[in-house]
Amino acid sequence: MNVAKAIELAMANTIREFAEMGEDVTIRAWQSLEADGSWLENPDRVFPMIDVRCGPPQTEETQATLQQECSILMGTKTDDDKSHAALSEMYEAVQGVCDELFSQFRSGIFTGEEIAFFLAALEEALEGDANFNFGGFTFGNGLAPADDNGINMIGITLVVHYSRSDF
């Protein structure tokens, strides 16, 4: 089972469902590019874009649970977004979804729209793997606004904590 791929898909679908930012934004789950109907092999990257990617699992300090950093990178072409307003709007929409996920987890409201949707999408992507046990969210180090090679970028890292009953 590829937990990183499942988290990427669940996060991309949750952002697509709840972040209000317009239809022209491509949302890419890094290991499942074709999941977003707007992705084409050539050109691979179309802006404005949200790129969701998760790294390999890491053991938490307790060594009983795992965590995966889910980077959510937002980008616009510098020439198309000289004032950075479009990037700022995307960031606000995505940060709002991440804040809701975190808030609903912290308050124990797993029936909140965003977290319920995320958990259902995650379960579907994990193909009902009963060994996966969701543990929560924290925020990791993000990417400060930057301009690199004609692309404006900003990023959020939402860390997904979990355990596995088969370990």
Q: With the CA atoms of 115, 116, 117 and 123 taken in that order, what torsion angle do they form, in degrees rounded to the nearest 10? A: 100
Please give the model's pTM, rounded to 2 decimal places. 0.92
Query: pLDDT of 92-120, one tens digit each?
Result: 999 999 999 999 999 998 899 999 999 99
pLDDT under 50: residue ranges of the chain: none
Given the DSSP bridges, would you call strands 49-54 and 26-29 parallel, antiparallel or unpaired? parallel
Give the domain extent around 153: 3-164
CATH number for the domain harbouring residue 37: 3.30.70
* Number of domains present in the structure of the chain: 1
As a whole number of angstroms, the distance between CA 16 and CA 26 comes to 9
